[in-house]
Structure 1
Amino acid sequence: MSLSDFTLIGKDDLYEHVYLLYSGSKLNNDLGYYPSKADKFVIPIGELDIEIEQSKSGVYAMHETGTTGFYLWKVSPLFAEWMLYHKHPLSDMFNGCGVVVELGSGVAGILASTLSTRCEVFLATDQRHLLKLLAKNIGSNRQPKSNIKIVEFDWENIELGVSNLEATLEKRQVDFVLAFDTIYNSFLLDHFIAATKTLCNSETIVVVGIQLRDEDVLLEFLQKMLDNSFQCYHVDQEWLSPGLKNGYGIYCFKLCS
């Protein structure tokens, strides 16, 4: 199995693809995060119960540097469940891989806590003010966690982020880049794509999961990825779990060789 099992999308296909995706999907009306009134709660992912601590005080204190990372967004648990308990081309390629970097892990650390068992090294990255709680959540859910590294990587300061990653990776190449619910406004797109591209070689697979909200933002994102020499593959509904089939999109990207 390979990325060719999914649908390759070219520049001429974008408008039709986005139109069909939105018109054929039952969209979620909520914002996409878990509306828990408690700072601590448990999320079931298949056979796993993942303990999450969020910080409402952090949301109010950090409004100038970004608050989305303080919440748990719904697409990450759905993706983790799909990767762990369903057979499809992406799980086959991922299982047993070397280095995985997640961009925008947030404080929850869902993917690090669950998918790190399937790879050699998992790097969870985000802005500095999120890392302490991220480390705490990963520590609560993944023991031992010796193959998980937590690294500061702010997309608006790529040089520092890349330096941090290089010091951690020690010249190892990145096999997978994961990013979930990071595509939600136009301002961040160029920063995100530039950060992503610095991590990739011709074999790196970038997996992006989104909740379907503003179709113009998705269209702009896909256009920019293609303009930056990425091939774009859409994971068709036939491969997705029931939870991902309505209101979400999973894309895989690879630099053109």
Structure 2
Amino acid sequence: MEHLTSFLAALGEPEIEDAEEESFLLFSQDIPSANLGFVDSRATTIDLTIHDQDYTIHQSPTLLSSSRAGGTTGAVLWKITPLIAEWLSNTTSTTNNPNPLWTHTLLTPTSTIVELGCGISALNALALAPKIAHYIATDQDYVYRLFRQNLEANAHTHTHTPQTRSGGSGRQREKGHGKGHGKKGKGSTLQSGAGPGQGQGQRQGNIIFTSLDWELDVAGSLKEGVGISTSTSVSDGEGREGDKGFDLILSCDCIYNDALVAPLVRTCADLCRLRPVYKEGEGAGEGRKPTVCVIAQQQRSPEVFEAWLRETMRVFRVWRVSDEMLGEKLRLGSGYLVHLLLLK
């Protein structure tokens, strides 16, 4: 775990000890107005560039403005998503301030990432999947059609062909104004010609879309449920089971609603429990690395933020990523926040 220890030492910010103090510090500053945080809620397509790579993102203003039960905000692209995609995909192969998760080998070409509440854009998946082994994007079923369309429209940007596997079915869980996270439903194969719930499909690549209910689904079976082998070639003489865990859990702008706080935190914790807990002073050894959670969000309500932080600190150690690591676009005062979590 020495790589994680060196990463934490380089974070540039101390571990957060007081949720109220952190909230006051962050929200007592001037925050730029970003409205609700949409890039353009009226456009059906949005063109953008990340690391000299052009993307065209399809979205649905009609769905956004509909009365669909459970929220529709996952139907459009949010401003923070391209910034996080750019930050996380800045590997050691680039020349301008590579992301420390890569330089400290917490992310490697063999990594598996899970995104909670991915929305329709598929932008984080498109930017990161070519650099890792597996990218699992999760959300409600309604985002699937546009998620698939965006993968296909930007197929030239990645070398892997996307795949998804079936999940299950269940009723809507989200309450209030939300992005549409936390519904259990049938997964959808991204194989050409198939639609939601039409079978598991043939494995075609390393981008996987599946629905995930933050309240009902069993996190421990996520990897196997999407068809990723949990066997391991590492032997420690103790008969360890295969690795069911993940290197990184990513949540991008999912915190804006009190009703979502507890289920989101619980899901993050359940996923992180599939890997060892970080213990300072332990060497690298042959053990698996703890799971790192990256929680990115736009500053909106100090009450909701503090509620999330209080709930999070019950089960996680929390650090705010420093301006030096984040760069100009995500630094304090930009209206965006990035926190790193490690299970206690």
Structures share fold, TM-score greater than 0.5: yes
- The aligned counterpart of 1:134 is 147
Per the alignment, residue 250 of structure 1 pairs with 338
State the distance in 1 between where 2:217 and 2:9 align: 31
Asked if structure 1 preserves the Cα contact closer than 8 Å seen for 2:89 and 2:99, the reply is no
For each residue in 1:59-105, what CA deviation from the matched residue of structure 2 results, as whole angstroms up to 9, or x when unmatched?
Answer: 34462122111011111101111233432423423243521000000
* Residue in 1 that maps onto 2:280: none
Q: Which amino acid aligns with 2:271?
A: L
Instruction: Say whether residues 1:42 and 2:42 are aligned partners.
Output: no
Alignment-derived partner of residue 60 in structure 2: 55
Shift in Å, 1:26:
3.1
Matched, 1:241 2:327: yes
What are the residue-to-residue correspondences of 1:34-183 with 2, within 5 Å?
A: 34-61=39-66, 63-85=68-90, 86-92=97-103, 93-142=106-155, 143=158, 144-145=160-161, 146-159=205-218, 163=221, 165-168=223-226, 169-171=228-230, 172-183=244-255
Supply the AA of the counterpart residue of 2:322. D
Would you say the 8 A contact 1:98–1:120 is kept in 2?
yes
Q: Which moved more, 1:173-182 or 1:146-155?
A: 146-155
Query: What's the CA shift for 1:25?
Result: 4.9
CA distance in 1, matches of 2:206, 2:33: 35
Equivalences for residues 19-38 of structure 1 within 5 A: 19-38=24-43
Worse overlay, 42-51 or 182-191: 42-51
The 3 A distance-change label for structure 1 pair 25 and 84 is: farther
Alignment-derived partner of residue 231 in structure 1: 317
Identify, as 1 or 2, the structure richer in strand.
1
Higher helix share: 1
Q: Distance in 1 between matches of 2:66 and 2:141?
A: 14
**Which structure has the greater CA radius of gyration?**
2
SS at match of 2:120: coil
Structure 2 counterpart SS, 1:243: coil
CA contact (8 A) 2:42 2:61 kept: no
Q: Match for residue 165 of structure 2? A: none
Tell me by how many angstroms 1:31 deviates: 0.9
Tell me whether 1:212 sits opposite 2:270 in the alignment: no
| Stretches of structure 2 lacking an aligned partner (at least 5 in a row) | 1-5, 91-96, 162-204, 231-243, 278-289
Do the aligned partners of 2:43 and 2:61 also contact (CA within 8 Å) in 1?
A: no
Q: CA RMSD in A?
A: 2.0
The AA in structure 2 aligned to 1:183 is: I
Amino acid in the other structure paired with 1:104: G
- Secondary structure of 2:329's counterpart equals helix
Identity of aligned pairs, percent? 29
The gaps in structure 1 that reach 5 residues or longer are none
Higher relative contact order (CA 8 A, sep 6+): 1
Q: Conserved in 2, the CA contact under 8 Å of 1:80 and 1:115?
A: yes
